[in-house]
Every structure is written in C-alpha cells, then in structure tokens.
A and B are shown apart, each in its own frame.
Chain A
Amino acid sequence: MNLRNRFATAGLVLSVAFGCGQNTEKEAGSADSVSADSALMARDSVAESKTQDFFQSLPSPIHVARIFQRAGLKFISGITNPASNASKYMSPYSKSINLGVYTTDLAYCTFNDQSQEAISYFKAVKTLTDGLNLTSIFESTNMVPRFEKNIGNKDSLVTLMATMSMESDILLKQTSRLDIAYLSFAGAWTESAYIATQMLKNKRNADILKRLLDQNNSLGKLITLLQDFDEKQQFESLITSLSDIKASLDVLNSENTTTHEEEFKKLTSKVETLRNKIVNDN
C-alpha cells in the first residue's frame, strides 16, 4: 500500500469513527442493530464525498399519496401491508424498504379518513425507525401522543406527517444514511404504484393513470441513486425489478398506444410481484 492510500484509508477509518461518535442513540441500540448500522455507516461515509442526493432530490411519498388521492384514488380495505407485520422485519434492508411501504400506507389511510388504521401505521413507522436507530425522529417532537390526540382532524394529521417526513429526510441526509433514504423511497414508490395499479385493474381512471405514469421520472432517479450501492446482492435484485417496471412505464408513456393494454397488465403484474416480495421479506 503506498503512502497516499495509507492516508486515505486511515482518514476513512477515523471519519467513520468520528461519524459514529456523533450519534449517541446508536450506542443505546441493540447489538444486532448497531452492527448492521455500522456496516451501513461505513459504506455511507464513502458515499458522503459524493453529492448525488443533492443533485437528484426525490419527492415526498406523502405528497405522492396526496397527488393520487386528488386524482381520485379511493380507499380499498385490506390492500395495504398489515401494520402488525412491522415487528417481523429484522434486517436493515427489510426495515428500510418497509419503512417506505408503511409511510405510503399511513398517508393513504390519513388522506382517506381512515384514522384508526392511520394510527396503526404511524406506530408501525415508529417501530421501524426505532429498529433503524432513527429514534430521534419521533422522540424530538413527542409525535405519537400528538398523532393520537388529533385522530379525526385530518389537517393536523397531515401536518404531523409532514413533520415526521422533515425530521426523517434531514436526519438521514445529515448522517449520510442515504441507503436507508433510497430504500425507504423504493418501498414507498412500490406501495403507491401497487395501490394505484390494483385500483386501475378493476376500474380505469384517466387521472390516476396519468399520475401513475408521472411516477416514471422519480423511478428513473431512484434507480440511478440505488445503482451507487449495487455491490449488495439484495440491491441488485431490487434495481433489476425496478428497471423492469420502468421499462413498462416507458412503453406506457410512449405515443404508440397499440400495445398499452397488454403493457398495463405486465406493469400491474411486475409491481405486484415486487411489492409482495418486499412485504414478505423478513
């Protein structure tokens, strides 16, 4: 190893050590979580020198849920991932990606006035953020009691969801835990596409279809961002699935409409397969 490489390696090791020292909550986490978290942190400190997260800003899953609701996406009972599954997700990967799934389910229930289900999903989101050592998202703002207190008041619940979204977005970027941010967005993206395609499968709605096709842009960005982490096998599988979905969205966004019906069926099937894989992956 030459001198330059030695400096770089030592600097990296120390940067990881300093970075971990900044977050006292990590010290209180379980051994398993801390170990998994350390692995994430080590790779993220390498990614920290890059700036993709700055150059490619992703939309809020809560806003996407709002857009679908405005387009006419109604509540379908039983379509969301049961909140009781939250405790089953053990790996950092499944916790991260299902955090996004539950964020979309939370927003979907809130915007459709399903308050009791919304509180279950709020708690599911908390379970997973705690499991990822992101406890401060909820603790700093005493959010769960505030959410329970405002059940039935949609405006207040939306404000609390936005606060949660801000705390999460800024914390993940401040600590450079970008793989959690990207995986969470992947879960949220897939869940919103799943709900939309399931509704469209039974009843066509031009506005919802348009909003679904609009998601192609953020999906393209997400794939680019995830490719930065493609050394992990689980990431590669996810990237392949998302790229396959994007290929269908590309066809549906094209002006050649002759194959649209067939392609929509393919898209629905691809989204359903990925979504079921995500929610059943412990």
Chain B
Amino acid sequence: MKKILLICSIALASIGQFANGQCSDKTIKRLCKDGLGTYIFESAAFKPLTAFGAKKNSVEAAFSVYSQESYRVLNLCQGFSDAIEFAIYDTEHNLLFSNKTDKSVKFYDFVAQKSGDFTIEFKIPAADAKSTSSCVAFAIGYK
C-alpha cells in the first residue's frame, strides 16, 4: 500500500512540474522584452491552464491602471492549438478592445481615462480545455 501511495504521489508531483514548465520564467521574460517595445515593464501574470480548473472556456484577470497613464497590455499565452482571442474592458467593464477579427494581434495600447481596475479576458478554445501544455499569460507595460 505504501509503495502504491509513493508511486502515485511521484507521478502526481511530476505532472505538476511538467505543467509548470509550460510557463517558464525564461520564456515569459523573453516575450516581455520582445513585446513591450518602448513600454517599461509593470507586471506579468502567468499560470498553466490547468491551474484554473477543468472545462474553463474563459479566464479573466484584473490589473490596476492610473488615469492619464499610457499602457500596453501584452497577450503572452503559449501552447494553445490556435492563437488566443482576448479582450480588454475598462473600469466600468465597457469593452475597449478585442482581437476577435484578427487573433494575430498580441497587444493593445491605451491611455487610461480613469484610475481603477481594467480587465483582460482570454477565450479558451474548446480543443484546449483539458490541455496540460498551455500557459495563460499576459504582461503590462507603461510609459
């Protein structure tokens, strides 16, 4: 019984390590440097898709903005079967931007009109819902 417990636990731990490997710090840093351009790094958030639970069809995150400040939001999602659709909402949850018509667009630049929380929403393709190799990630830059 103890041997079975140990083997299963090692397997579970290994799966966890593999999943985390999809959001590697080196990859995120490289993508930030390449994608932020002249914007200064503010913050990044990254998690394996598996961290958000099963059958997620969208993932949302809030990020702080200050009025009259210039920002770039950078979509850094990796390991999906197709380019990820994402949308940005302002402090009142009005849609400001979506790359729905051209998913190859990876960033959105804006000047915040009001201080508060903006929201980024990622649409997860059904084909990837149970993917263990997908990473949900974004970065914020400012000027």
Residue numbers of A with Cβ under 8 A of B are 6-7, 10-11, 13-15, 17-18, 22, 49, 51, 53-60, 62-63, 66-67, 158-159, 162-163, 165-167, 169-171, 173-174, 211, 214, 217-218, 221
Pairs A–B under 8 Å by Cβ, sample size 16 = A7-B8, A14-B13, A17-B13, A49-B51, A54-B51, A55-B61, A57-B45, A57-B140, A60-B43, A62-B40, A158-B40, A162-B40, A165-B41, A170-B44, A173-B44, A218-B64
A151 to chain B, nearest CB (A): 20
Chain A binder among B24-32, B82-90, B94-102, B124-132? B24-32
Q: Is B62 an interface residue (CB 8 A)?
A: yes
- Name B46's closest neighbour in chain A (CB-CB): A173
Q: Which of B13, B45, B61, B142 contacts A15 (CB 8 A)?
A: B13
Q: State the CA gap A49–B136 with chains docked (Å).
A: 15
A173: chain B residues at CB < 8 Å are 44-46
- Name B33's closest neighbour in chain A (CB-CB): A166
Q: Is B54 an interface residue (CB 8 A)?
A: no
A57: chain B residues at CB < 8 Å are 43, 45, 61-64, 140
Q: State the CA gap A162–B39 with chains docked (Å).
A: 10
B66: chain A residues at CB < 8 Å are 59, 63, 67, 211, 214
Q: Which of A11, A60, A174, A218 contacts B12 (CB 8 A)?
A: A11
A160 to chain B, nearest CB (A): 11
- Name B140's closest neighbour in chain A (CB-CB): A57
Q: Which of B6, B40, B45, B117 contacts A63 (CB 8 A)?
A: B40
Please encode chain B, from 67 to 110, with 1 for each CB lying within 8 Å of some chain A CB and 0 for all others.
10100000000000000000000000000000000000000000
Instruction: Find out whether the CB atom of B17 lies under 8 angstroms from the CB atom of A11.
Output: no
Q: Is B10 an interface residue (CB 8 A)?
A: yes
Q: Which of B14, B47, B140, B142 contacts A51 (CB 8 A)?
A: B47
Central interface residue in A158, A171, A214, by most chain B CB within 10 Å? A214
Instruction: Find out whether the CB atom of A15 lies under 8 angstroms from the CB atom of B16.
Output: yes
Q: State the CA gap A53–B45 with chains docked (Å).
A: 7
Q: State the CA gap A56–B64 with chains docked (Å).
A: 8
Q: State the CA gap A167–B49 with chains docked (Å).
A: 23
A67-B69 contact given A171-B25, A217-B117, CB 8 Å threshold = yes
Q: Is B9 an interface residue (CB 8 A)?
A: yes
